[in-house]
Structure 1
Amino acid sequence: MTEFNRRRLFWLSVLALFTASVSASLRAAVASSLKAEWIDPIAPIAAGELIGAALGSAFLGFAVTLFITSALLDRIGMRRMLMGCGLCFLIGTALIVGAGALASGMTIYRLVWLGMLLSGIGWGLAEASINPLTARLYPEDTTHRLNVLHAWYPGGLIVGGLSGVFLASMLPWQAIMALVFLPALGVVAIAATTHFPARPALARDGRTKDMMLEVFRRPSFFVWFGAMFLTASSELAPGQWIDVALTNRVGMRGILLLVYVSALMFVFRHFAGRLAGRLSNPGLLWISSLFAAIGLFLLSRAQSPVAAIAASTVWGLGVCAMWPTMLASVAERYPKGDAWALGLVGSAGALASFFVLPRLGEMFDQAKVEIAGGPEAFTRLSGAALRQVEDAAASQSFARLTLVPLILLIVFGLIWAAERRANRRAARLAEGTA
C-alpha cells in the first residue's frame, strides 16, 4: 500500500480552500468596478440584479458540482478532483478578466457570468474532496479539524480583500482579479505530485449506494439540509454583497468590513471545535444564529465606520462557526453518508447564495427605483442624490435578511432541546443499570 503524508494532504486541502476564498473575496472586491465599467452602461436600471446574478452563478456552479461529484468522489479520485479544481479557477478567472477584450455589449456580461460559474465549479470540486478527506484523515477529531481547515476560508478572504483595496490605486481591477492564478497553479502542481489514501472499503466493494440510503432512510437529514440553506444565506450572501451595498453608506470600503470579519473568523474557528465540545453543536449553532440576526439588523442601520465595524463584529462572531460546524454535525450524525452527505449539505449552502444574491440585487433595484420616484426619475439622478437613494435601498436589502437567522433560532433551539432531553434520559438509564 502506498504511504501518504497526512500533514501534506491537510495543507493541500487548505490551499484548495484558500484559492476558493481568495477568488470569492476578489470577486466581491472588484464587483463595484466591474458593474460600473461593463454593466451600468448596458443596463443601468437592472445593474444590481445582474451583478448579483453574476456573483450568484459561482454558487450555482459550486452547488451543482458538489451535489454530483460528492457521490462519485471515490470513482473520480481526489487527485483528479483537486487538479480539476485548480484548472477551473484558472479558466474561470481568465474569462472574467478577459471578457472585455473578447466581446462587447451583453456578451461581455455572459462571459463574466460563465467565468464566475467555472470558479464556482472549482470551489465545488475543492469542497467535495477536502471535507471527506479531512474527516477520513482525522476521524478522532473531526469537528476541530474541519473548523481549522475552514479557518483558511476567511484567511483567503483577508488576503483577497486587502489586495482588492490596497492594489486598487495601482492596478486595474482585471489585474487584481488575476491574482487567483497564483494559488490555483499551486493546487494543480501539488495535487499532481501527492499520494492520496486508498479508497475506503465501501467504495472498493461497489456499495456507494449505501451512502445514499443512509440519507434517504433517515429523514432528519433533511432538517440539516434545510438549515444549511439558511446558515449560508446568513453568512455567504451578505459577504458577497457587502461591498456593493455598504461602501457609500458607511463611509468606508465594504470589502474592508469583510476583511475584518474574516480575521475574526480565522481566529475563532481555531477554537470553535473546543467550544462545540462544551455546548454541543446545536447549542453553538443556536448562539451563532442569535448573533447573526442581531448583526445583520445592525448592519442595515449602520451609517458610519464605527457603527459598521460594531455591527460587523456581532455578525462575524455569529456566522464564523456556522459552515464547518454544520458539516461536522452531519459527518457525526450520518457517518455512512460519508462524502455524499457532506456534499448535499454543502450544495444546499451554495444554492442559498445562488438564489439569495440575485434576490438581494432585485430588492436593491426595486427599492432604489421606488425611493427615486420611478425608473425615469432614477435615471436622471447623479452624484450625491444618486448615492443617497442607493444607500437607502441597500439598508432595506440588508434588513430583510435578518429574518433568516431568526428562523434558525427556532430550528436549532428545537434540536438542542431534543438532544439535551435525550442525553438526560440516557444518563438516567445508565444510572439505573449501574
Structure 2
Amino acid sequence: MNEINKKRLFYASCTALLVTAMTFAIRARLETVFGPEGVGLTLEQIGYAFTPAFWGFTLAMLFGGPLVDIIGIKKITWIAFIMHAIGIVWTIMAKDMSSLFIATLFVGIGNGMVEAALNPMIASMYPENKTKMLNRFHVWFPGGIAIGGVMGWLVMDVMELSWQVMVGVLFIPLVIYAFMFLGQKFPVTERVQLGVSTSNMFKSLGKPLFIFMAVCMMLTAASELGTTQRIESLLKESGTVPLLVLVFINGIMAFGRAFAGPVIHKLSPSGMLLFSAIFTFIGLWLLTITSGGMIFAAAAVFAVGVTFFWPTMLGFVAEYLPETGALGLSIMGGLGMLSVSIVLPIMGKLMDEASAHEALRTMSILPAILIAAFIGLFIYMKNRKTKTIKE
C-alpha cells in the first residue's frame, strides 16, 4: 500500500467541501424558482422543503461520526459521493415540494458524510495545527458558496439558461473529488491513534465544556447559515442583487479563513469566538436599517463576524476535547445544521406574516446571546491556562 499523500487528500477534501458549499448557493437561488413567483410554493413551504439539507446533514454526521472510527474514513467518503450523486440527479428532476424535499435530503446526507469523514481526517493528519488547517479546509465552504453564487447568476441571469443546467454544473467538482480520492490510502482517526476507548469517548461527551460548546454551535450555525440560506428573500426588497451579496459575504469569509494563521496566533480560539459574535450581531443589526449600496457595508461586517465561527468551534473541540473523537466533531456539526433546519421555517413564517426586517431582527438575538456566552468562555479558558501554568 502506498504512503498517505496528505497534500492530495487535503485538496480532494477541499473539492468535496466545494460541492457541499455549492449546493447551499444553488439552493438559495432555487428559492425564487420554486417560490410564489415560480412553482408557487410559499416561503414557509420552501423552508420545510429545504430543512432536510440540515437535519439530513445532522443524521449523517451523528451516524457517520462513530462509523468513521469503526469502518474507516475511506468508506464514509465514498458514501458521501454516492449520496451527492443521487441528490444532484433528483434535484434536476424535482417538480414540487415533495420531490424537492427528497432531493434535498440526499444532498444533505452527502454533505453530512463529507464533514463526518473529513474533519477528523484533517485533525488526524495535522495534529499540531488543527485549528489552522480546519480553517484552511473550511475556506472552501464560503469559497464554494461564492463560486456557486456567481455560477448561478451567470447561468440563470446572464446566459438565461434553465435552473437544471445550474444544478448540473455540480457534477464537475463531484467527479474531480472522486478521482482525487480514488486509490488513496487514508489515515485512521485521532481517537484510534490515541487509543481512547469507545466508553471513554462517550463519557467525554458528557463533560460540561463539551455540552456548552454544543449548545453554542447551534447558535453560531443558525446565525450564519440561517441568514445566508434565505438571502434571496431577506434582501429581495433591498435594492440589491441578493445572490451577489451572498457572493460578497462568502468572498470575505474565504479570504479570512485562508489567512487565519496570523489571527489564530494573536487571538486564542475563545477570543476569536467572542470577536466573531460581536461582529455578527452588529452586522445583522445593520442589515435591518440599510438599503441599496450600504447593504454591502452591512454584509461585510456580518461576514467578518461569521468567518471564523464554524471552523473555530470545531478546532476548539479538536484541540481541547480530543478524547471526544470523530463523534464529538460530528455532534458539533450535526447540531449546527439541526439548528438551521429549525430556524428556516420560522424565518419563512416571519417573512410571510411580518417582514424581512422582522426576521433579521429576530436572528440578531442569537449572536447577542453568544456574546455573553463567549465572554464567559474566554474568562474560563484564561483562568484554566493560568491554573495550568501555576501547577
The equivalences for 1:133-144 within 5 A come to 133-144=121-132
Say if 2:257 is the partner of 1:269: yes
Shift of 1:299: 1.0
SS at match of 2:240: coil
For the 8 Å contact 1:245–1:394, the answer to whether it is kept is: yes
- Which residue does 2:371 correspond to in 1? 409
1:20-419 mapped onto 2 (5 Å cutoff)? 20-36=20-36, 39-40=39-40, 43=41, 47-100=42-95, 108-169=96-157, 170=159, 171-198=161-188, 202=192, 207-216=197-206, 218-247=207-236, 249-304=237-292, 306-367=293-354, 393-419=355-381
Q: Output the TM-score relative to the length of structure 2.
A: 0.95
Residues 154 and 265 in structure 1, CA contact (< 8 A), matched pair in contact too:
yes
Larger displacement relative to structure 2 (163-172 or 348-357): 163-172
CA distance in 1 between counterparts of 2:58 and 2:197 reads 24
Which one has the largest radius of gyration? 1
* AA in 2 matched with 1:16: A
Residue 34 of structure 1: how far off its partner (Å): 2.3
CA apart distance, 1:11: 0.8
Take 1:192 and 1:345, find their aligned partners in 2: how far apart are those partners? 28
Secondary structure in 1 matching 2:291: coil
The verdict on how the C-alpha distance between 1:417 and 1:76 changes in structure 2, with shifts beyond 3 A counting, is: same
Judged with a 3 Å threshold, the aligned counterparts in structure 2 of structure 1 residues 114 and 227 are, in CA distance, closer, same or farther, namely same
One-letter identity of the residue aligned with 1:399: R
| Bigger shift: residues 393-402 or 75-84 | 75-84
- String of CA shifts for 1:44-100, please: whole Å, max 9, x gaps: xxx011111222220111111101110111223222211221221221121122123
RMSD: 1.9
Structure 1 residues 82 and 201: alpha-carbon distance in aligned structure 2, compared to 1, 3 A threshold: closer
**CA distance 1:162–1:423, change in 2 (3 Å):** same
Taking a change above 3 Å as real, the CA distance of residues 200 and 275 of structure 1, as seen in their structure-2 partners, is closer
- What is the match of residue 6 of structure 1? 6
Distance apart, 1:302 and its partner CA? 2.1
CA contact (8 A) 1:237 1:353 kept: yes
Any gaps of 5 or more consecutive residues in structure 2?
none
Deviations 1:4-28 (Å, cap 9, x if unpaired)? Answer: 1010111111011111001111111
Structure 1 runs not aligned, ≥5 long: 101-107, 368-392
Taking a change above 3 Å as real, the CA distance of residues 20 and 11 of structure 1, as seen in their structure-2 partners, is same
Counterpart of 2:127 in 1: which secondary structure? coil
Cα distance, 1:270 vs structure 2? 2.1
Q: 1:296 to 1:200 in 2, by over 3 A?
A: closer
Higher mean C-alpha deviation, range 78-87 or range 149-158: 78-87
Q: Distance in 2 between matches of 1:257 and 1:204?
A: 44
Return the offset for 1:366: 1.9
